[in-house]
Amino acid sequence: MNIEYELFKKSTFNFPNLIKYGFIKELNGYKYEINILNNNFKIMLNIIDNKLTSKIIDLNFNDEYLNFKVDSNLSINNKIKEEYELILKDIKEKCTTQYNFIFKQSNDICNYIYKKYKVKLEFLWDTSPDNGVFRNKYNKKWFGIILNVSKNKLDSNYKQEEVEVINIKLNENMINELLKEKGFFKSYHMNKKSWISIILDSSLDNEIIYSLIDQSYDIVNKK
């Protein structure tokens, strides 16, 4: 993954703040330019559809400098990367709203569960900081787990692609029926007889997932 994706994958850009920062609004997005390293290089950033792309221009030759994206021990490369990363991190801090997860549906679920059950997501594992758990606040039993996984781990027919799923607890008969439908998978890292994984890429309506989460909550609430 590139640094732009890693830094901004859980963020959305605040457009008024981009303008305050110095971005210029164009027909299809926003652009920002800044010279670095004693005006020897120029960073050019573009934001279109909430995705940031960049170019580095070598002003001595008025040409794109591609070497900074290549692993290298060159001193100039390291200096450019350092300046570039500092600027991106500053933009992230000042011009974005940050969320727990990459996909909107994952964040919608967090909001739904908090509003209905007053349960906040818990990040329990230092080694898996992108994975969070919802626990019944009375008996502490899990009724949902949001996981960041590669899609091909859910089904080998898919390519390697970063996705988020929620694991919920249901009765075995319902699990068997749901697995016939699009968007449902055998539970990742949980007991497959009592848990099911639901992909959170908006292929299923939020209301369908909310209803199943409620059923999962009811199951653990009775035990």
DSSP string of 147-179, one letter each residue: EEEEHHHH-TTS-S-EEEEEEEE--HHHHHHHT
Q: What is the mean pLDDT of residues 130-140?
A: 94
Q: Does the pLDDT value for residue 1 go beyond 60?
A: no
Q: Are 193 and 172 in contact (CB under 8 A)?
A: yes
Q: Are 143 and 216 in contact (CB under 8 A)?
A: yes
- Mean pLDDT (the chain) is 92
Q: Does the pLDDT value for residue 223 go beyond 90?
A: no
Task: Read off the pLDDT of residues 39-48 as tens digits, 9 standing for 90 and up.
Answer: 999 999 999 9
Q: Are 145 and 133 in contact (CB under 8 A)?
A: yes
Q: Does the pLDDT value for residue 103 go beyond 90?
A: yes
Q: Kindly indicate the confidence band of residue 222, based on its pLDDT and cuts at 50, 70 and 90.
A: confident
Q: Kindly indicate the confidence band of residue 220, based on its pLDDT and cuts at 50, 70 and 90.
A: very high
pLDDT value, residue 2: 83
Of 218, 211, 219, which is closest to residue 191 (Cα–Cα)? 219
All domains of the chain, ordered by start, with CATH?
3-98 (3.30.1820), 104-221 (3.90.1150.30)
To which H or E segment does residue 217 belong? helix 206-221
Q: Are 6 and 88 in contact (CB under 8 A)?
A: no
% of residues, the chain, pLDDT over 90: 80
Task: Read off the pLDDT of residues 139-178 as tens digits, 9 standing for 90 and up.
Answer: 999 999 999 998 888 877 778 788 999 999 999 999 999 9
Q: Are 64 and 85 in contact (CB under 8 A)?
A: no
Task: Read off the pLDDT of residues 32-88 as tens digits, 9 standing for 90 and up.
Answer: 999 999 999 999 999 999 999 999 999 999 999 988 777 667 788 889 999 999 999
More confident residue, 155 or 202: 202
